[in-house]
């Protein structure tokens, strides 16, 4: 009897399992059919609208034009960086990434629906004309930027070398729009510049992340390694660039842990980039300068160094572009640019639309100093103990003529004209003292 009961229960259990599997299969099949039906309804609605527009619109529009407009509208509504590339747009993009062209030297992005200057590039026509990070471009020559895509704006601003262009901009603090006249030129960028402050602080300016940034920064650090007690890394108005260079730069200062992770809807887009002790170049105190023009790769660098407690960030909140775009061809001559993932810093926080907040907020400006013309010091006396100092220190007093001969030096006068850099120098000095 016990065996019969066991067998009965066993058959009941199997029957229940089969029933559940059958029910689950039916549910899955039903879900697939519902999804297919929904897709067909959506496509039917789409074709119906195209048919109605083609039949009743005041202008004679072809089916090809309507499809292009529909694709363009769909991509624009996904996010600020995704868009549909027509044959003309696709060619422009290839010129931008592969060819030489005349331009202004600015990086632009969409912020709250407005075409905004992320940053002017050092030494370019835009920089010399006075464009600033955060400027909103209202007009390009006589064309309004309202409803314009980034690629459309870029194509209008690019042109033949020597051709002039007028931008109408809105700037915070200005009561009315400003007209900026710029003459296009070949854009040549030197990404890395190095200077010395007070003989023992190395100042490194990275203007953008091109393919030689890590190599050039490493070279500058190694060249002055013996005398360097602290480093200031200036990423202000750096619009970004190559991800591998951003990762490599962080790896130069951090010896372990996650640098940045990339997460998308598809598992294949999920990637994690980590630091390696073998790539660490220096461990001296580090300060990073950022502002509203620091975007993308420069936000990854500053945010990762901040999360690792490796650097003190000084300046203003960064731009907030933490997404990954790829160009996917759909025909031989057309493509779409699509956002496929977001970047996340080592702590797990996102950059997108938030940016990186500095540890010490400093508004840009000039440090006002007042020299006391009536103050008399030992050095002003006719027979001060210069020779005695030479005996003690073993070196002569530095004269103005000596200073003029030195190149790549940031003087105290220069520091006073850049209060953010002045604050960075003061923090570096404190970190060097704390480190001993």
Distance CA 205, CA 236 (A): 8
Burial status of residue 291 (CB atoms within 10 A of its CB: 0-12, 13-18, 19 or more): buried
In 3D, which of 184, 187, 222 has the Cα closest to residue 202? 222
How far is the CA of 347 from the CAs of 260, 267, 306, 308, 359, in angstroms? Answer: 9, 20, 10, 9, 16
377 is catalytic: no
Considering 321, 337, 418, 422, which one is annotated as catalytic?
A: 321
- Do the beta carbons of residue 224 and residue 202 sit within 8 Å? yes
Backbone angles phi, psi at 209, to 5 degrees: -100, 85
Distance CA 231, CA 312 (A): 11
Considering 307, 323, 418, 422, which one is annotated as catalytic?
A: 307
- Do the beta carbons of residue 295 and residue 118 sit within 8 Å? yes
- Do the beta carbons of residue 345 and residue 307 sit within 8 Å? yes
**In this structure, how many other beta carbons lie within 10 angstroms of the beta carbon of residue 111?**
18
Backbone angles phi, psi at 164, to 5 degrees: -85, 160
296 is catalytic: yes
In 3D, which of 285, 270, 165 has the Cα closest to residue 231? 285
Backbone angles phi, psi at 160, to 5 degrees: -75, 145
Q: Provide the β-strand partners of residue 258.
A: 274
Report the residue count for the chain: 436
Q: Provide the β-strand partners of residue 307.
A: none
- Do the beta carbons of residue 311 and residue 319 sit within 8 Å? no
135 is catalytic: no
Q: Radius of gyration (Cα) for the chain, nearest Å?
A: 30
Considering 296, 298, 302, 323, which one is annotated as catalytic?
A: 296
Burial status of residue 44 (CB atoms within 10 A of its CB: 0-12, 13-18, 19 or more): exposed
In 3D, which of 102, 214, 205, 115 has the Cα closest to residue 158? 102
- Do the beta carbons of residue 352 and residue 337 sit within 8 Å? no
Q: What is the token pair recorded at 413?
A: 């006068």
- Do the beta carbons of residue 214 and residue 252 sit within 8 Å? yes
Catalytic residues: 296, 307, 321
């Amino acid at each position: 009897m016990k065996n019969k009961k066991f067998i009965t229960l066993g058959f009941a259990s199997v029957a229940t399992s089969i029933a559940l599997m059958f029910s689950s299969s039916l549910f899955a099949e039903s879900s697939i059919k519902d999804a297919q039906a929904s897709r067909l309804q959506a496509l039917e609605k789409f074709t119906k609208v195209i048919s109605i527009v083609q039949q009743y619109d005041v202008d004679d529009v072809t089916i090809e034009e309507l499809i292009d407009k529909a694709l363009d509208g769909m991509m624009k509504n996904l996010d600020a960086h995704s868009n549909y590339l027509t044959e003309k747009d696709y060619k422009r993009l290839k010129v931008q990434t592969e060819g030489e062209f005349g331009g202004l030297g600015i990086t632009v992005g969409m912020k709250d629906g407005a075409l905004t200057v992320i940053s002017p590039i050092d030494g370019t026509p835009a920089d010399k004309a006075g464009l600033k990070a955060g400027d909103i471009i209202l007009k390009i020559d006589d064309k309004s930027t309202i409803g314009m895509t980034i690629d459309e704006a870029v194509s209008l601003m690019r042109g033949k070398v020597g051709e002039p262009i007028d931008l109408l901009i809105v700037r915070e603090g200005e009561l009315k729009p400003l007209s900026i006249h710029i003459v296009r030129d070949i854009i040549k960028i030197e990404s890395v510049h190095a200077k010395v402050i007070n003989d023992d602080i190395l100042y490194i300016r990275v203007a953008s992340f091109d393919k030689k940034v890590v190599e050039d920064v490493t070279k500058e650090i190694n060249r002055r390694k013996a005398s360097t007690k602290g480093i200031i890394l200036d990423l202000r108005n750096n619009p970004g660039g190559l991800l591998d260079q951003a990762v490599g730069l962080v790896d130069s200062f951090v010896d372990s842990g996650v640098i940045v992770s990339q997460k998308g809807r598809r598992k294949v887009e999920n990637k994690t980039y980590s630091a390696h002790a073998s790539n660490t170049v220096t461990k001296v105190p580090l300060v990073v300068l950022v502002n509203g023009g620091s975007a993308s790769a420069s936000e990854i660098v500053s945010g990762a160094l901040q999360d690792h407690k490796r650097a003190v960030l000084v300046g203003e909140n960064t731009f907030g572009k933490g997404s990954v775009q790829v160009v996917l061809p759909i025909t031989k001559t057309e493509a779409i640019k699509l956002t496929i993932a977001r970047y996340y810093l080592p702590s797990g926080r996102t950059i997108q639309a938030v940016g990186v907040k500095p540890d010490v907020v400093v508004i840009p400006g000039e440090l006002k100093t007042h020299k006391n013309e009536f103050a008399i010091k030992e050095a002003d006396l006719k027979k001060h103990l210069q020779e005695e100092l030479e005996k003690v220190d073993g070196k002569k007093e530095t004269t103005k003529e000596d200073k003029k001969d030195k190149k790549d030096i940031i003087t105290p006068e220069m520091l006073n004209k850049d209060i953010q850099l002045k604050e960075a120098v003061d923090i570096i000095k404190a970190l060097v003292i704390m480190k001993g």
